[in-house]
Structure 1
């Protein structure tokens, strides 16, 4: 696994283009990350200003520069507006593992978009970044994210009690994992 992404990869699915998020996307990011429902399990307070969105975009760039992650903006084909993001963080190359995270504008919930984006990112992680294990940390009340990850073959391994302190409270998180061979077996069944 390389520690840095030389050219930011663009991923394409039937309905989506996953691309690098730029500063010019700040208003789009602010639009959905200011939504209380979208941010409920994000670990941050809803965004209030364009500066909040620009700080998030700077973080996306910093994890690429540091080789610890990569985050794609989710756009619909034919439209360039970022409606969510999906990507890897806390990459641990020596152990061939990473965490995955995603969020989507509420206007697009329930349409299979998160699942489609997640599958593209997972496929890229196993085939290009040489991951063996991808983890997802999800709060127990976040049933939609649990369903999306389980649809991709993730298995819940356990509960991490009081694992994070966010927004003034301790959060329990379910630990989910997907191994490369399990994902490949599921892909072969399709």
Structure 2
């Protein structure tokens, strides 16, 4: 199923939309102004030496293609001044009788503790139902990532289970919590 959609959303403080070629400088500044890693699941400052405008244009093109193919919906989060705050993605796991997606997100650490992640997630989950027609959204979270767990619960996600040996990271298969939200059951926070 291919979608030709308007994927530009606004909240009180944020603009949420796919990256565009002219976003390079804002995107670059979001990453380059990050603080050193604040905790285990924060990547902090990244090496941007090879992240040229040409590299970024390829990234944008690849993300746009993934959206056209209904594979992964990538959304950049900007404040109303155009600062790149972070990213959200919704990966299509199954369509047909499932309408099922996986949610991923991050906020640059220099923008933490301002409510941006909550505001962006509430909006994207609502749009995932209304525009993308997903019924079930899952988020997979490390067992010790309490800030992410609390955020998901605040948005309206429910703990479902622990998936053992679920994701290969840091050289080993790790367990993850699975949180879910059924959009058609009005689980979405308001």
Match of 2:119 among 107, 116, 121: 116
Aligned to 1:125: 128
Which residue, out of 102, 105, 108, partners 2:105?
102
Write the distance in 1 (CA, Å) between the matches of 2:133 and 2:153: 21
Unaligned runs of 5+ in 2: none
Aligned pair in 2 of structure 1 residues 173, 38: CA closer, same or farther (>3 Å)? farther
| Equivalent pairs, count | 183
Cα deviation, 1:139-180, whole Å, max 9, x if unaligned, reads 112211111111011111111122111343333211110012
The residue that corresponds to 2:162 in the other structure is 159
1:11-30 to 2 correspondences below 5 Å: 11-30=9-28
Q: CA RMSD in A?
A: 2.9
Distance of 1:109 and 1:25 partners within structure 2: 21
Structure with the higher helix share, 1 or 2: 1
For 1:16-95, list aligned pairs within 5 A.
16-32=14-30, 37=37, 40-41=40-41, 47-49=46-48, 50=51, 54=56, 57-77=60-80, 79-94=81-96, 95=98
**Residue ranges of structure 1 left out of the alignment (5+ in a row):** none
What displacement does 1:17 show? 0.7
Using structure 1 for the length normalisation, give the TM-score. Answer: 0.81
Q: Give the whole-Å Cα distance in 2 for the aligned partners of 1:174 and 1:46.
A: 27
Query: Normalized against structure 2, the TM-score is what?
Result: 0.81
